[in-house]
């Protein structure tokens, strides 16, 4: 996880290196159609201290 932090920090300090950052392994694309649980699981696999969460459906729709 530190590697991701370092890569993002380097980019923010040197925005002219956008192309390098864009194609790095540290850039993560999340499709809005993914389920929240899948996204959390993906990041949990990368972390030493796992997140423990409980998702609750509030029965609200995002789009009308």
Residue 56's pLDDT is 81
- Cβ pair 47, 1 in contact under 8 A: yes
**Residues 15-45: tens digit of each pLDDT:** 888 787 777 777 777 887 778 788 888 888 8
- pLDDT band of residue 49 (cuts 50, 70, 90) is confident
3-16 average pLDDT score: 82
Backbone angles phi, psi at 39, to 5 degrees: -65, -45
- Its pTM stands at 0.45
């Amino acid at each position: 996880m530190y590697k991701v932090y370092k890569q993002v920090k380097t980019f923010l300090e040197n925005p002219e290196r956008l192309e390098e950052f864009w194609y790095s392994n540290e850039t993560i694309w999340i499709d809005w159609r993914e389920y929240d649980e899948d996204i959390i699981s993906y990041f949990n696999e990368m972390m030493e201290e796992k997140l423990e969460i409980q998702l609750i459906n509030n029965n609200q729709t995002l789009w009308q």
